[in-house]
Amino acid sequence: MTESFYMIMALLRKEMLTIFKDPSSRALLIVPPIIQAFLFGYVATFDLKEVNYAFNDRCHCEASRELRAEINGSGFFVEKPVSGGNSMDSYIDAMNREEILVIVSVDENFEKKVKNRGDAKVQVLLDGRNSTTAGTAGGYLSQIVSRFSEKKGFMNAPFSLEYRPLYNLNSITRWNILPALIATLSLIQVIMLSALSVARERERGTFEQLLVTPLTQMQILAGKAIPPIIVGLGQSSFILLVALFWFKVPFSGNILSLYFGLLLFTCACVGYGLSISAFAANMQQAMLYAFVLLVPLALLSGLMTPIANMPDVWQYMTWLNPLRYAIDFARRVYLEGAAIPELWYDLLPLALISMITLSFAGWMFRHHVV
């Protein structure tokens, strides 16, 4: 037993050295996840910051001036002067040049309609080149206009909607993305690292040497799997720290539960990575296969769009995707404080994927397909 332990330790030491010996590859495993966590934490938001808009006032009346003040006072919309004078044409030119996102326009008889309790319309023109931003801006404007309508003495509907968001009370999109990044950012490098570790040895012919040592298949598997698992968990920890202490996303769950899920997830990733190397004749092929696998794994994971929004066929395919479970798990533990027994539907598939892929990879060490 102790002998077997020392054998694995020796192999582990060698594997860790190949990963961390070269300063540039060492830096590549540590720096990028941290930088990415910062950048993506800031960029991954659908919350509007400030929207440049133009107010095309053809009424020049009290009502239009008040509406304009209301919009400017909302804090979301900033009026931006455009070149070429105050005409609809020059506003549209400015929109084409992406200088403004919205044109709000009221026509000549706006005042009269407001006074006579008529059907007063405010035209809102949105730049749909990013329809998500435009849709949100449009929604805010509708709310501002209906508030204005109330203010001008129009009666409101006889009911009101009392909205209470649960789990993310401040409605910050960043809170949704950061727990997901904890898993996503480590996925990429863990898969590449494990896919390369065997492929590199095969390319150089040293893998055969490893196979003739007294190490058993299980021991080689452990030696190949543990270093990327450590790297992955380390990367996840960096991102977790950024989420906790820089973005101050409050952690509601148990840290050990989170790490338990992440461990299973990283095992599944390593399983995929090592399995890829069975199909690759050299490093270049291993990289390409890993990459072609990575892209759908990262995109069809619920990171950016909920899986429930995808067509059924795609939803079934995501059952094979470890990241899908990890993201759900991380969000539920991080944001909702869920405990492990509640999350069996994430953990069980991760355990299954890990078992299947890792045993396949171990078997493949001797039964190489290429």
* Contact positions with another protein (CB under 8 A) in 6-45: 22, 24-25, 28-29, 32, 36, 39-40, 42-45
Choice between 53 and 219, CB closer to another protein: 53
Tell whether residue 68 is a contact of another protein (CB under 8 A): no
Tell whether residue 350 is a contact of another protein (CB under 8 A): no
Ramachandran assignment for 48, one of left (phi > 0), alpha (psi -120 to 50 degrees), beta (any other) = beta
Choice between 22 and 356, CB closer to another protein: 22
Instruction: With CB under 8 A as the rule, give the number of residues binding another protein.
Output: 106
Among 3, 85, 160, 212, binds another protein (CB under 8 A): 160
Long-range contacts of 149-152 (CB under 8 A, 24+ apart): 151/70, 152/63, 152/66, 152/114
Least distance to another protein, CB of residue 6, Å = 28
Choice between 50 and 213, CB closer to another protein: 50
Question: How many whole angstroms separate alpha carbon 117 and alpha carbon 227?
Answer: 72
Question: How many whole angstroms separate alpha carbon 323 and alpha carbon 300?
Answer: 9
C-alpha distances (whole Å) from 120 to each of 105, 144, 154 are 12, 14, 11
Least distance to another protein, CB of residue 199, Å = 10
Residues in the chain: 370
Q: Which residues of 213-238 are buried (b: 16+ CB within 10 A; e: fewer)?
A: eebeeebbbbbbbbbbbbbbbebbeb
Q: Draw the binding track, 106-135, toward another protein (x: CB under 8 A; -: no contact).
A: --------x--x-xxxxxxxxxxxxxxxxx
68 burial type by CB count under 10 A (0-12 exposed, 13-18 middle, 19+ buried)? middle
Q: Draw the binding track, 170-199, toward another protein (x: CB under 8 A; -: no contact).
A: -xxx-xx-----------xx--x---x---
Indicate the residue type of 258: L
Least distance to another protein, CB of residue 5, Å = 29
Choice between 221 and 328, CB closer to another protein: 328
Q: What order do you get walking across the sheet with 51-57 strand by strand?
A: 77-79, 51-57, 102-106
Q: Which stretch binds another protein (CB under 8 A): 53-61, 237-245, 252-260, 288-296?
A: 288-296
Q: Which stretch binds another protein (CB under 8 A): 9-17, 248-256, 264-272, 293-301?
A: 293-301
Strand partners, 77: 51
Choice between 48 and 210, CB closer to another protein: 48
Task: For the beta carbon of residue 210, count every other beta carbon within 10 angstroms.
Answer: 16
Choice between 314 and 363, CB closer to another protein: 314
For residue 83, report the phi and psi dihedrals to the nearest 5 degrees. -80, 150
